[in-house]
């Protein structure tokens, strides 16, 4: 394997261009740029939840980006130009890097448009819309959200499916999660750090080599298991695998197109590791439904009421609704990033099914070699063969030994050809 100290001329050129992309994207932090502050929350509840949050174009103008947007767009344009000049128009790795530059420029345009209708429209270009179909004639993401909600409603009243009490404090969750991750990533090596934080809105958040746990949050063991596979094995694991790349260092960082792959992998891992559960799935379907509502004209108050109808308390309903409109206005088009979970799951599942059907199992683990996108997978296979990309160092057990996954996908490929409506009619007398 090539190391970073013995690259040939071509590899050195690719590495230098790749490093420039990594460096250029460093200050571009989408979630930090679109979040609403605590004063907005307090103002909403001070008005008894009857008035739209005080968010407009001026709100975002008062919170300038951490970089010069015009200069940053030019920087990515210059990198893209140099990629073509130095690698040529049709070089495979060059095509990936040029697409990344274009995508980052679009991200910056979206952030420049915070508080305007353009923000939501660019968001749909980057992350998709709830009304998008997976393939011609197939259901949309909105259809999927409603379908899953119906299934969940059918089992909602079962006492044996209720969530266990959240009796683990943040320090206890940190200790348990650290022990679990040490088993996978190496005990005592400090590869992944788990620690408390009081500066995050979510219960947990992953970084390059760490997972933060919110100090005042409560958990149960099922929550910790989900964090292990979702944040640890996928998000942090793929980051570390990307950082392990000696040439294509851009794989350590991901534009929005890789977010779909990342979240799809994370949800798939939850499912095949038996770490998911109905409450978790309902959270994802509700986010999808809420985004679709906003696309159809619902405002913040409508979405807030929707989450309350789903059984959430006021604080959590506000947090969920603000996820939909962050970066936008309370009566504008939504920020559609949260579609990535269900959209990514379907796309990754279909990709793995197809890889098994075609006998190309070697393609599947490459999903973990960094922040990948599905459209690049054939090229990544070629780059691995050429020694330009190294296979993933950290790989979940389910993807190390593909026996069980392959068997499952073989059955799944067959079951896809059966009609559930016909089965339901045939089974009417026995179920």
The pLDDT score that the predictor gives to residue 270 is: 94
Q: What are the tens digits of pLDDT across the range 2-29?
A: 555 689 999 999 999 999 999 999 999 9
**pTM: predicted TM-score of the whole model, two decimal places:** 0.91
The pLDDT score that the predictor gives to residue 157 is: 75
For residue 287, give Cα distances in angstroms to 223, 340, 413: 19, 10, 29
Burial 165-196 (b: 16+ CB within 10 A, else e): eeebbbeebbebbbebbbebbeeeeebbebeb
The pLDDT score that the predictor gives to residue 139 is: 85
The pLDDT score that the predictor gives to residue 1 is: 46
| For the chain, domain boundaries | 9-145+148-153+278-417
> Cβ distance 114 to 398 under 8 Å?
no
Residues 228 and 232: their CA atoms lie apart, in Å, by 5
Closest CA to 284 of 333, 340, 233: 340
Task: Please provide the distance, in angstroms rounded to a whole number, between the alpha carbons at the two ends of the chain.
Answer: 57
Long-range contact pairs involving 351-359 (C-beta distance under 8 Å, separation at least 24):
351/377, 352/268, 352/405, 352/409, 353/409, 353/412, 353/413, 353/416, 356/405, 356/406, 356/409, 356/410, 356/413, 357/409, 357/413
The pLDDT score that the predictor gives to residue 188 is: 60
Closest CA to 241 of 181, 191, 189, 174: 191
Work out the number of other CB atoms within 10 angstroms of the CB of residue 272: 18
For residue 37, give Cα distances in angstroms to 43, 63, 146, 218, 415: 10, 10, 31, 23, 48
Q: Which residues of the chain have pLDDT under 70?
A: 1-5, 187-190
């Amino acid at each position: 394997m090539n190391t970073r100290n013995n690259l040939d001329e071509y590899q050195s050129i690719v590495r230098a261009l790749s490093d420039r992309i990594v460096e250029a994207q460093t200050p571009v932090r989408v979630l930090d740029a679109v979040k609403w502050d605590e004063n907005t929350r307090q103002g909403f509840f001070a008005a008894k939840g009857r008035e739209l949050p005080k968010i407009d174009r001026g709100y975002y103008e008062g919170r300038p980006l951490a970089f010069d947007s015009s200069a940053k767009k030019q920087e990515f344009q210059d990198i893209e130009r140099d990629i073509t000049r130095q690698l040529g128009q049709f070089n495979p790795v060059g095509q990936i890097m040029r697409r990344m530059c274009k995508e980052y420029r679009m991200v910056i345009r979206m952030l420049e448009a915070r508080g305007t209708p353009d923000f939501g429209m660019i968001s749909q270009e980057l992350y998709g819309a709830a009304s998008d179909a997976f393939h011609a004639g197939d259901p949309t993401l909105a259809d999927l959200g409603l379908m899953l909600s119906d299934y969940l409603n059918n089992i909602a009243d079962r006492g044996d499916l209720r969530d266990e009490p959240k009796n683990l404090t943040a320090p206890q969750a940190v200790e348990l999660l650290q022990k679990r991750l040490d088993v996978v990533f190496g005990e005592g090596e400090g590869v992944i750090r788990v620690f408390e934080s009081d500066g995050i809105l979510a219960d947990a958040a992953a970084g390059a080599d760490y997972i933060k746990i919110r100090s005042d949050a409560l958990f149960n063991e099922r929550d910790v298991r989900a964090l292990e596979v979702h944040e640890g094995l996928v998000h942090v694991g793929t980051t570390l695998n990307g950082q392990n790349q000696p040439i294509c260092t851009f794989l350590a960082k991901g534009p929005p197109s890789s977010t779909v792959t990342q979240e799809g992998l994370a949800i798939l891992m939850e499912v095949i590791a038996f770490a998911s559960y109905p409450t978790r799935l309902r959270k994802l379907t509700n986010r999808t439904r809420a985004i679709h509502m906003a696309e159809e004209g619902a405002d913040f108050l409508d979405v807030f009421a929707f989450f309350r109808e789903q059984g959430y308390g006021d604080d959590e309903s506000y947090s969920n609704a603000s996820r939909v409109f962050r970066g936008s206005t309370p009566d504008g088009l939504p920020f559609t990033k949260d579609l990535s979970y269900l959209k990514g799951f379907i796309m990754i599942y279909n990709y793995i099914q197809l890889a098994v059907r075609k006998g190309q199992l070697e393609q599947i683990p490459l999903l973990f070699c960094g922040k990948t996108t599905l459209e690049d997978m054939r090229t990544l296979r070629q780059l691995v063969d050429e020694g330009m990309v190294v296979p993933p160092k950290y790989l979940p057990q389910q993807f190390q030994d593909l026996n069980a996954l392959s068997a499952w996908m073989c059955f799944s490929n067959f079951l896809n050809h059966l009609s559930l409506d016909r089965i339901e009619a045939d089974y009417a007398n026995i179920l």
